[in-house]
Every structure is written in C-alpha cells, then in structure tokens.
Chains A and B, each alone.
Chain A
Amino acid sequence: MTEGPSPRSALAELTLARFRLFFREPSALFWTFGFPVVLAVALGVAFRNRPPEPVQVAVEDDGGAGTARARQTTAALQSDQVRVTVEDATSARADLRGGKVTLVVTPGDPRRYRYDETRPQARLARLLVDDRLQRAEGRRDPTPVADERVTEPGARYIDFLVPGLLGMTLMSSSMWGIGYLIVELRAKKLVKRMLATPMRKGDFLLSFVVMRALFVLIEVPVLVTFGWLAFGVRVEGSVVLVLAVALLGALSFAGLGLLVASRAQNTQTVGGLMNLVMMPMFVGSGVFFSSGNFPDAAQPFLRALPLTALNDALRAVINQGASAQTIARPMVVLGLWGVASFAAALRLFLWR
C-alpha cells in the first residue's frame, strides 16, 4: 500500500480539528466573542457618565399659615440637583415609604427632615437640602471651595469593567471550550475510539491547550480593540504584557477545565461542575465590582482565586500601566493554579 503524502503531525491535526469545530459552531463563536461585547455595551450604557440624578424631596404643606413657608422652602430648593413636590403630610409620608421621595421636609422652627438614615441617597439628600436652605437663609462658608470633577478616561467604571470582562471571558471560554468539548467527545465514545489508535494521550490533551493559547491571540485583541473604539478604554501598559497575562490566564483555566472534565461522563454533569467552579469567581473575583467590597476576612481567599489574580494583573497593566515585576504575585498565583490543575487532571482523567 502507498504511504501517501507526508502527513502533518497528530498534534497539528488535532489542533486543526479543534479550530475547525470551533469556527463551525455558531454558539461557541457567540459565547466567545459576541457575549462579552454585548455585555460591555449593556454595562457601558447602564453606567455611562451622565449628570448625577436629582434627589427627590417632598415639602409638607398642611394648608393655612404653613402654605407660605412651604412655598418659600420650595423656591429655595428647586434646582438641577433637587426635584421638589409639595404634598400634605399623609401623602408625603406615603411617598417616602414607597421610595418616590428620599426626604420629607416639614418647614417650621425647628425645620424637620424625615428620612431613612441607612440609605446613602437619603443622607445625601439631607445634606444637600439643608445646605441649600441654610444658604438661602443667609449662611456664608468660611472657606471658598472649587470642585474638580473626574470624568477623564482611565478612571471611569467602564475602564474598570473592560479588563474584568476580559478576565471573565478568558475564564469561561477556556473552561467551556475545553471541559465541555472533552466530555462531549467522551460521551460520543470518540475518546475511546482515538485511544484505539496509536495516538499519544499527551497529544490529545495538548491540542486543547495549544488551541486555547492560539485563541487568546484572537480573543484579546478583539475585546481590547472593541473597548478602545467603543469606550476609549486605553491600554496604559505594554500590549505584549497584556497578551502574556491573558495567555497565562487562559492556560491556567485550561488546566482547570481539564480537571473539571477529567471524570464527568455527560455534558449535564460537566455543566453543573463548571458553574460550581465559576460562579464564586464571577461574584467574588472583581469582574463587575471590586472584590475589595467583601469583608477583610474573605480577602486572602478571594486573592487566591485564579480569576482574581487574572483580573488584578489585567487591571494593573491596562489601567495603571504596571510592569511585569509589579504583577509578579498574581502571575505566580495563576501559574500555580495551572500547574496544579494540569497535574491533577492527568492523574484523574478517565480515558475509557
């Protein structure tokens, strides 16, 4: 029999097959590229910079002599920052309970403010309203002040959000891309079928890793460019370093994906396991809000999570222009996760 044209190596063919299968699966394409972009647009719109909302205030007017005072108070308050309604006591309180207003002002001596002290918005309204009324009544500030408002790129919510979304995408596409695929292959008995050939097990596993690494080179530029074009999110540090961080992150999560998929027999099981592993990180690893919001006691645990490490490193490089040395700690955390999960996956992997 003929030998045929010299074939490519098994690793190259396996990797090629992964790529073909990926690009021929529209839903995989969407979850990798479309979803983060849609999310960034939605959140970017929700949190875009706009004038602060005016506070909603009710002024009590019970008729009679109070009416003149209520009118005076209302006139002093009405502005861009305060929206005032005049109501009788009963309906004012009803509106306060229902959240339609955050503060009820009862003119008089003393003037009464009724509000819920645990709501930051209400405390803000209390300060704002009192300040305007006192000034209208003649108070003067001992020291003049000048406000500088921060709206320049680099310090906005979207600047915080884009690196977080990048980290999240790297995590979910690595985990789903590897874990789900392997379990599907196993359920279809394709792993067993390939094992009946002289294929090296290492080539099989490595092809997933190579695919992920190559994908980072597509994924990261797409998302970073989108963030820059749509929201003006700039990469302050080295683009090469961003890629390096992303690569390490993707490989680390590839290991975790292999580990999660190492014994699962069907796609439902692996789906559940994936969510179990990823959910805490979606919430706790600072994708949408800083993980610093969690209590101090939780911090060492949160900082040890791979997604926290990845997000910290990405934000440091993208937002603050950090160098490789300054992000050494999160990089080590990522590396350890990668090595440990690969080692465990190799030991546990169910081949037959």
Chain B
Amino acid sequence: MSDAAALRCRSLVKRYDPGVVAVDGLDLEVAVGECFGLLGPNGAGKTTTVEILEGLLDPTAGDVEVLGMRWATDERALRERLGVSLQETHLPDRLSVGEILTLFRSFFARGTDPDEVLRAVSLEEKKSAWYSKLSGGQKQRLAVACALVGDPELLFLDEPTTGLDPQSRLQLWDVIESFKKGGGTVVMTTHYMDEAERLCDRVGVVDHGKLIALGTPRDLIASLGGQEVIEVTLVAGALDEAVVAGLPGVHGVRHVAGGFALAADPLHVALPALVDHLRASGHTLERLSTRHATLEDVFVALTGRLLRD
C-alpha cells in the first residue's frame, strides 16, 4: 500500500508462558482515513493484537509501526495522537461525566473541548451525572468520548458495542462514522458482522491468532461465489449435495443447523432450479428462505464454525 499508512505490523507474535500462542504471525497495514475491522470469535487474539498495536502489550516478536513511529522510541509523541478505548474500562463511579472528560483532556497537550466531545457523543445532558448512574450504552459512549478528547488521528476501539442494546449501538455507530468523516483513521475489533459491514472499509478475519481473510466486506462476501443465500429445511431425508451444487446459479452447499445453505447467484436462476430439483426428487419442503450473504457466512465458509460459538 502507499506510504500514507497509519499503521503497519509484520510477523506479529505474542506467546504467553505455558505455550499459549495468542497471536501467530500477523501482518496488517491500515491506510490513513481508513476504518479497519478485526473480526473473529472470542479468544481469536483480536484484543491481544490491538493492545500490542496500542503499545500496551509487548509482542514476543514482530515489528509495529504506528503513524510512522515506534513504541520503543516515540511513546509519548504517539500517545498524543492516538485515542484508545479498551474492551473493558470501569471509570470512577463517583466522578461525573464532565469531570471524567476534563480529567482525560488534561492528559493531552492539545485536544478538543470536553463540551464539544460530549455533544458529539450525545451526552451533554449527562454532563453532571455520576458515572455510576449511566446506562451501559452511555458508559460506552463516554469511554469513546475519553478516546476522542485528545483529538486523535488514529482511534482504537476494542469491541465498542458488545453487550449494548440496538439503539445504543446505532448511536455509537454514528459517533464512529462522524469521526471517519472528519478524516480520522479507525482500527476496531468486533464479533458483530453487521457492525463490520456497516462501518469498516476493510476487514481482517482472525482465527487462532492468524489472519485468515482480508479485504472489503463486499469482496469477502463475493468470494463465497454468491451474494445470496438460500436456506432449505426438508421434512425428511437429505439433499444430494453433489447434484444441488451443480444446479445453475448455485455456487456451493453446506450443512447448517437443521438443513442446508446454498450460495446462490443470481437468485432468479438458482431458485427455480432448486424447486424443480426438489419436486423431481420427491422431497417435501419444511421451510425455504433467502437472504443476502453476510460476513458471518464468510466466517463459516472459512472455518466451518459460527462466529459466536
């Protein structure tokens, strides 16, 4: 990629003592202004990777370069330009939203007025409320606000919406999108595929500490061979997978819980062919549905497992 990389890492390895390898030779490059998502199930090594990139963990091996600088030599200068939101932070219960934000602002030589950040995350009305009185979504938006108050060029978000209700997730997505619009670079982890598809320009799928796929959400979905998925459940018996896979418009068949999922494209060719085949082979349908393929399907196709297993 170009020289305008916000972040580069090569052959990143993190090994914990009793032979546990959390990160196993990871290469990444994130361009300035890009929103990059690390996807993977719990325990895939996403948080370890991000914390190494954030300079909070030392890698066992490998090379990290952030905004053209290195942690070993430029830590303070780097910290001035980064915003970090950890996966789990309990801010002090008995400090108010405004007090917490002012505190974090004071750590940075230059930054954004706390009131302005509060507006950006829609917490103006909670300015004098204690942290302990906030809802989960409000706490998470405050955590992101603490990352934004230093006016960062690069924002790290580790599972920013895990455990939040749909409304809170949407609010947080708005915050992240407006940061992107301002020209900021985002590196985030998530195990929500819809989140990655909505926010990320590119995603890297991580499993067992390795990058198993990298690209735009659209490209990754396209790599399945079909943009659409047909899910079929039969009353009895099983599909002849070899025959079904050979039907026009069908690009792949796999077992899913209770039935089969077909990668299909175009749908208007695959669907009639499938119905004809079912009729000819005497199967009775219990259920048939179609939907757009998602990154979830990509993950299942790559690993044979569901993301949230």
Are A196 and B84 closer than 8 Å at their CB atoms?
Answer: yes
Chain B, interface residues (CB within 8 Å), range: 35 or more
Instruction: Give B100-123 interface residues, CB cut-off 8 Å to A.
Output: 102-116
Measured between beta carbons, the chain B residues less than 8 angstroms from A14 are 103, 106
Query: For the complex, is A188 an interface residue (Cβ under 8 Å from B)?
Result: yes
Q: Considering the chains assembled together, what is the distance between the CA atoms of A7 and B109 in angstroms?
A: 9
Q: Looking across the interface, which residue of chain A has its beta carbon closest to that of B86?
A: A193
Q: Is the pair B90, A188 in contact by a Cβ cutoff of 8 Å? A: yes
Complex CA–CA separation, A25 to B94 (angstroms): 8
Which of A1, A189, A195 has most chain B Cβ within 10 Å? A1
Interface residues of A, Cβ cutoff 8 Å to B: 1-5, 7-10, 12-14, 16-17, 20-21, 24-25, 188-190, 192-199, 352
Contacting residues, chain B, for A188 (C-beta < 8 A): 89-90
Is A20 a contact partner of B113 (Cβ separation < 8 A)?
no
Asked if A20 contacts B94 (CB within 8 A), the reply is: yes
Give the Cβ gap from B71 to chain A, nearest Cβ, in Å. Answer: 12
Interface residue? B79 (CB, 8 A): yes
List of A residues within 8 angstroms of B113 by Cβ: 2-5
A2 and B56 in contact (CB under 8 A), knowing A8-B106, A188-B89, A189-B86? no
| Interchain CB contact (< 8 A) of A1 among B76, B107, B112 | B112
Contacts of A2 in B (CB 8 A): 112-113, 116
Contact B104 A197 (CB under 8 A): yes
Is B65 located at the chain interface by the 8 A CB criterion? Answer: no
Contact A190 B89 (CB under 8 A): yes
Q: Is the CB of B99 within 8 A of A17?
A: yes
A residues in contact with B82, CB < 8 Å: 196
Closest A residue to B150 using CB positions: A197
Answer yes or no: B88 CB below 8 A from chain A CBs: yes
How far, in Å, is A335 (CB) from chain B's closest CB?
A: 31
Residues of chain B contacted by A196 (CB below 8 angstroms): 54-56, 79, 82, 84, 86
CB of B151 within 8 Å of the partner chain: yes
What's the least CB distance linking A77 to chain B, in Å?
65
Contact yes or no, B109 A198, CB < 8 A: yes
Most chain B CB atoms below 10 A, which of A2, A7, A16, A21: A7
Are the CB atoms of B103 and A13 closer together than 8 Å? yes
Q: CA–CA, A9 to B92, complex, Å?
A: 19
CB distance from A5 to the nearest CB of B (A): 7
Query: Are B56 and A195 neighbours in the complex by a CB distance under 8 Å?
Result: yes
Residue of B57, B82, B90, B107 with most chain A CB atoms under a 10 A cut-off: B107
Q: Is B80 among interface residues, defined by CB-CB distance under 8 A?
A: yes
